[in-house]
Amino acid sequence: MDSRRFCGRLEANLMNESNVNPQSPMSAVLENFPGAQRALFRRYHIGGCSSCGFQPTETLAEVCARNGNLDVAEVLTHIRSSHEQDAKVLISPQELAELLKQDPAVKLVDVRSREEFEAVNIAGSVLLSQAVMQELMSSGSNNQPVVVIDHAGKNGLDAAAYFMGHGLQNVRCLRGGLDAWAQEVDPKLRRYRLG
């Protein structure tokens, strides 16, 4: 799935949420709500490790039943609510370009591998490292604008959620990641695919 389709799904599926119901397989739940696994783990400790994981073919009702008979309607409401929150964290490439013009203090934190970062990156961004993380966490200003960048917008929300969970209040995630930036803002930036 390309980055535009993946990230567009975050916004479009709010209108198509009737596609998911208690009898939907988890593969369909994750297809319609890409952050569902993160939401399930955060609130119910479901899906984060092998002991609490689920199979793509299991239905949402089956997963709820074997995890303490959770109320399926409540779980689905939580997944939808988390999905709406994820959409609010995203910033489009054009919005980020405008923000960078207005506020040079925006910290661009790239969460890709060192090899990917060294091959291609957005000017002014920094590769996430232990030192960068410590700087962000101890900066004293929990309101410094931070934008998380990944390759195609699939992992950045996890990093953004981590930072927000540790008190940073002005964290966004680049919708579509570096790939969308290269397509929509800086076409000179080299695009690549991960194998």
Examine residue 176 and state whether it is found in any structural domain, yes or no.
yes
Residues 174 and 110 in one domain: yes
Residues 156 and 104 in one domain: yes
Residues 82 and 111 in one domain: no
Residue-wise pLDDT for 30-67, tens only, equals: 888 888 888 898 889 898 777 788 999 999 999 999 99
Residue-wise pLDDT for 129-148, tens only, equals: 999 999 888 865 667 899 99
Examine residue 180 and state whether it is found in any structural domain, yes or no.
yes
Q: 71: which DSSP letter?
A: -
Residues 97 and 173 in one domain: yes
- pTM strictly above 0.85: no
Three-state SS string over 3-27 comes to HHHHHHHHHHCCCCHHHCCCCCEHH
Category of 58 on φ-ψ map: left (φ > 0), alpha (ψ -120 to 50) or beta: beta
Examine residue 174 and state whether it is found in any structural domain, yes or no.
yes
Examine residue 195 and state whether it is found in any structural domain, yes or no.
no
Task: Look at residues 73, 69, 88 and name the one whose alpha carbon lies nearest to residue 10.
Answer: 88
Examine residue 192 and state whether it is found in any structural domain, yes or no.
no
The total number of structural domains that make up the chain: 2
Residue-wise pLDDT for 146-175, tens only, equals: 999 999 987 898 889 888 878 888 999 999
Residues 59 and 71 in one domain: yes
CATH at residue 118 = 3.40.250.10
Examine residue 190 and state whether it is found in any structural domain, yes or no.
no
Give the pLDDT of residue 27.
93
Residues 112 and 163 in one domain: yes
